[in-house]
Amino acid sequence: MTNFDALKKKKGSNLKAMAEKLETMNKGSGGKKDERIYKPGFDKKEGIGNAVIRLLPAQEGDNFVRQFSHSFNVGSNFYWENSRSTLDEKDPVGISNGLYWRLGDESESTEDKTKYQNIAKNRKRKTKYFFNVYVEKDKNNPDCEGQVMIMECGPQIFAIIEKAINPKFEDDEAIDPFDLWGGAPLKIRALGREIPDGRTGNKVIVPNYEESFFGNVAEFMDGDEDKMKEVFEKTYDLSSFAVVKPFDELAARFKQVTGEDYDKLDKTSEDHAKEAEEDFREQYKELSGKDDEKSEPVEEKKEPAKKEVVADADDDDDDLLDEFARLANGD
């Protein structure tokens, strides 16, 4: 059957499917839960959580993904996007944060410094890590036990993984937590800690994972390679967690939410060009005796003036921008 004949046979049958897809798109995916994601259970009432997991290697690519994102609101407008810094590139929010931080440092009053730098702090990037795990035990999430899932965690838990790979002390043996034969179970120990809610200021209980640790090195599934293979083949591709929108699209979204360009505070281009033009006109007036802004400058005077003013200033500001963007983003 030709493609056209197949199309004719299905006529009218796509309407319902398209309507459902449009409804899903219009609702957005923000409230949709990814059933693959695992977070260790935590009993807020008791203020305790306890789980045992085994980290699994990826079938392709890296064993984990580090994702940077920005989530903040300006009034009723929300910005919630992955950052280009996930890909080790500059991001519109990161650039804006660096400029606000610098503006605060250059402010004469403490009040202005706090005001500007709080903008950068409120928009700072957040860090998450994703990797495949096998959930051996979780009292507060029993449905997850025996399942291959994607663990989502913050820097605190991941610091324990880093410490296992690169121990601080020479007599601590390094291990590869993702190795099915030479790895070890990660024992999650969560204790409640009271902190102020960033939005409401009210006290909330959150889990603290500092007492988590790796158990003894042991073969996964007691060395049963058939079971190892069965679990390994259920692991997920993590590449989707490193997907980031193009810079221009993020910049447009940033302006839509904040009402300003990401480089609004940047003085390295427009203002320096204007200063260079004014300096040149002063030189031109002195040399020619003319005071006509529309007069074309003498060519041999134009290039040295622009090169001297613009290049040096841009280089200095680029260095400052990189430094303050790094500070504002918590690097």
Return the bridge partners of 188, or none.
51
pLDDT of residue 266: 85
The pLDDT of residue 203 is 85
* pLDDT tens, position by position, 49-80: 999 999 999 998 999 999 999 999 999 999 99
In this predicted structure, what is the pLDDT of residue 46?
Answer: 87
**Strand residue runs (E) in 168-296:** 186-196, 203-208, 213-214
Check if the beta carbon of residue 36 is closer than 8 Å to that of residue 150.
Answer: yes
Whole-number Å distance between alpha carbons of 237 and 131: 9
Q: For residue range 196-249, what is the model confidence (pLDDT) as tens digits? A: 876 677 888 889 999 999 999 999 999 999 999 999 999 999 999 999 999 999
Tens digit of pLDDT for each residue in 306-315?
333 333 333 3
Per-residue pLDDT of 121-153, as tens digits, reads: 999 999 999 999 999 999 999 999 999 999 999
Q: Residue 19's pLDDT is what?
A: 54
Q: How far apart are CA 325 and CA 99, in angstroms?
A: 7
176 has pLDDT over 80 = yes
Close Cβ partners of 25 (under 8 Å, ≥ 6 residues apart): none
Q: Which stretch of 61-65, 269-273, 279-283 has the lowest confidence by average pLDDT?
A: 269-273
95: tokens are: 């650039």
d(CA 280, CA 38): 63
